[in-house]
Chains A and B, each alone.
Chain A
Amino acid sequence: MDHRPQAWGRPRDDVYGAYDHSYLQQSGPKTATQSPVVTGTSVVAIKFKEGVVIAADNLASYGSLARFTDVKRLRTFLGTSVVGFGGDVSDMQWLDRHLKELAIDEAYDQEPTAESAEAAAKEGLNAANLYKYLQKLMYKRRNDFDPLWNQILIAGLDEDDKPFLASVDLRGTSFTSPSLATGFGAMLAQPIMRLHAATEEDAAKLTREQAVEVVKECMKVLYYRDARSLDRYSIAVVTKEGIDLKEDEQLEKQSWAFAERIKGYGTQTV
């Protein structure tokens, strides 16, 4: 009988062989937050003349299971910017609370010299400021080996009221572009959007209606080809006038005729 405390409750070495203590390792890095659990898929966004259109579907997946189908992945900030979240949903919730707290703190010292509430909000953080903040936050968390498992798009206006669109991911990588998409959308939606707005100049020629149409088309293509997506989605248009956010949109005019021609999957025997 082995009376040492280390052996208590363990299978007897003389019966089962030496116990593998590597399972019991107490030290070492924390890994709990280093993989996502409940996830959202693509976010797509494109600039146009007066603003930005951004969309994401309303699904939160648990692995391949379509677990939550009424999830709001577009969040507004100070009534002037929209943040679209891909990746881990609980990290998105944390970020949403964090940003809300930031927005409340901002309102403490708001100097309402402006004539209207909207103008007053403009004096606060704009989308470009928010982007810089989120970039620093995400990069800090990655360096702490405790990343927020998200890809984020920030849509809004910059300090000159020009359309602003930028991306930050879980590594702190950040960039701006006339059109942006996260996740599967980076492969499937980005080429479509580049057909319409390859450069800033092209984007500045797009009308609001055209931009909305392009984004809707992207959402449809993503629903066709991304198995972790949904036909219900949220879409927001950010302009100087404010945010027009719709959170329960339905994909229109779907056509699955192409599916018949796809061979080589499932139970088909060609």
Chain B
Amino acid sequence: MTSIGTGYDLGNSIFSPDGRNFQVEYAVKAVENGGTSVGIRCKEGVVLAVEKVVASKLLKPGANKRIATVDRHLGVVYSGMVPDGRHFVDRARDEARAWRDTFKSPIPTADLASRMGGYMQAYTLYQSVRPFGITAIVGGFDSELESPVDGEVGQGPSVGAGGKAQDKDYGGPFLYMIEPSGLYWGYYGAATGKGRQAAKAELEKLDLNGDGAASLTLEQAVKEAARIIYVAHDDSKDKDFELEMSWISGTNGPTKGKHQEVPKALREEAERLAKKSLQDSDDEDDDKKEDDKMEE
């Protein structure tokens, strides 16, 4: 690496002459070794999935959750250093609560992403700290309904000041990815961690913003997320893993606007399909090879 020996990578918040911050880049390297995380935003909601690498057979299956609930309507998954991720989640929960204390209403996903982006960025500025060794994917569904203010007693105005504008859509599904530099963008589909290249390639094939019948339903998104995690997993190199998935739908959807773990039955079905599709594509590859041989 060009950074080694130059001295520009010895402290956080030091720029190299060509304008790079090496400590942040090293943090990105830490993320690139973590289990793959995927987020899919479709019209009906958001799905989060993670390849949870099982470090030891002594760990209880299904324990040590990697996807966290931040507020009712918000979920976070991350790749990289798990303790950093835990702290990120703690902070996100504090932010969500502080927002409720101040505004008496749930924090919009965009605002949480902004707050957390700012928080991560602050850890690139000082010598006394190091950047977060995680890339976090934040998913949420902002209520499309007239959401009551916490503790509200009356109806209040239906439109206008204190109410809402007519003929305007409110709320909806949102997905953000925040990197160790503090950079965050909104995405239709986001992937990070070890298998991000393969996962991104798969995500790009999906129609995540189509209006037509081709656009993904939430249940399809769950199945795609499972498949993508399986595709991104490298059997030959990696240890065993567990698939962990959560989803958030609108008020009329299966989770009623809440962030919840995908029910066991649906997850197992999605895993079965994922394994089947992997199997099928393997068979195809084998067939091709045999065909090639025959031609020779």
Q: Is the CB of B258 within 8 A of A107?
A: yes
Quick one: which of A72, A104, A107 has the most chain B CB within 10 A?
A104
Across the interface, A93 reaches (CB within 8 A) one of B151, B255, B264, namely B151
Interface digits, B140-155 against A, CB 8 Å rule (1 contact, 0 not)? 0000000000111111
Q: Do A96 and B151 form a contact, CB below 8 Å, given A113-B264, A116-B263, A120-B260?
A: yes
* Chain B residues within 8 Å of chain A by Cβ, number: 26
Interface residues of chain B, those whose CB is within 8 Å of chain A, are: 62, 68-69, 71-72, 93, 96-97, 100, 104, 150-155, 254-256, 258-261, 263-265
Kindly name the residue among B150, B151, B258, B261 whose own CB sees the greatest number of chain A CB atoms within 10 A. Answer: B151
* Residues of B close to A97: CB separation below 8 A: 100, 104, 150-151
Bound-state CA distance A94–B154 (Å) is: 15
For the complex, give the distance between the alpha carbons of A120 and B259 in Å: 13
With a cutoff of 8 Å between Cβ atoms, the chain B residues found around residue A117 in the complex are 254-256, 258, 260, 263
Residues of A within 8 A of B71 (CB): 104
Rounded to whole Å, the gap between the CB of B64 and the closest CB of chain A is 12
Q: Are B151 and A94 in contact (CB-based, < 8 A)?
A: yes
A110–B260 Cα gap in the complex (Å)? Answer: 9
23 pairs, CB–CB < 8 Å, chain A vs chain B? A70-B155, A71-B154, A72-B152, A93-B152, A96-B151, A97-B100, A100-B100, A100-B151, A101-B97, A101-B100, A104-B96, A104-B97, A107-B69, A107-B72, A107-B258, A107-B259, A110-B69, A112-B260, A112-B264, A115-B263, A116-B263, A117-B255, A117-B258
> How far apart are A155's CB and chain B's nearest CB, in angstroms?
20
Cα distance A254–B151 in the bound complex, in angstroms: 32
Chain B residues near A89 (CB-CB < 8 A): 153
B263's partner among A101, A107, A110, A112 (CB-CB below 8 A) is: A112
Q: Is A16's beta carbon under 8 Å from chain B?
A: no
Q: Which residue of B lies closest to A68 (CB)?
A: B154
- Could you say which residues of chain B place their CB within 8 Å of the CB of A96? 150-151
Residues of A at the B interface (CB closer than 8 Å) are: 60, 68, 70-72, 89, 92-94, 96-97, 100-101, 103-104, 107-108, 110, 112-113, 115-117, 120
- Give the chain B neighbours of A60 by CB distance below 8 A: 153
CB–CB A93/B153 < 8 A: yes
Point out which of B104, B254, B261 has the most chain A C-beta atoms below 10 A from its C-beta: B261
Question: Chain A residues near B258 (CB, 8 Å)?
Answer: 107, 117
**Which residues of B lie under 8 Å from residue A120 when comparing CB positions?**
260
Asked if A108 contacts B265 (CB within 8 A), the reply is no
Which B residue sits closest to A94, measured CB to CB?
Answer: B151
A104 near B72: Cβ-Cβ < 8 Å: yes
- Residues of A within 8 Å of B72, CB to CB, are 103-104, 107
List 14 additional A-B contacts (Cβ < 8 Å) besides A70-B154, A110-B260: A71-B154, A92-B151, A93-B152, A96-B150, A97-B104, A100-B150, A100-B151, A104-B96, A107-B258, A113-B62, A115-B265, A116-B263, A117-B256, A117-B263
User: Complex formed: what's the CA distance from A264 to B68 in Å?
Assistant: 66
Say how far B287's CB is from chain A's closest CB, in angstroms: 39
Cα A104 to Cα B254 with chains together (Å): 19
Give the Cβ gap from A90 to chain B, nearest Cβ, in Å. Answer: 9
Bound complex: CA of A108 vs CA of B104, how far in Å? 20
User: Does A108 contact B151, Cβ atoms closer than 8 Å?
Assistant: no
5 closest pairs, A vs B, by CB? A93-B151, A112-B261, A71-B153, A96-B151, A97-B151
Instruction: Give the shortest distance, in Å, between A109 (CB) and chain B (any CB).
Output: 8
A103 to chain B: which residues have CB within 8 Å?
A: 72
What B residues does A115 contact at CB under 8 A?
Answer: 263-265
Question: Across the interface, which residues of B come within 8 angstroms of A101, CB to CB?
Answer: 97, 100
Residues of B within 8 A of A116 (CB): 263
Nearest A-chain residue to B62, judged by Cβ: A113
Which residues from chain B contact A104 at a C-beta distance below 8 Å? Answer: 71-72, 96-97
Q: How far does the alpha carbon of A117 sit from the alpha carbon of B246 in the complex, in Å?
A: 12
Q: Tell me which residues across on chain B come within 8 A of A100, comparing CB atoms.
A: 100, 150-151
Complex CA gap A70/B150 in Å reads 16
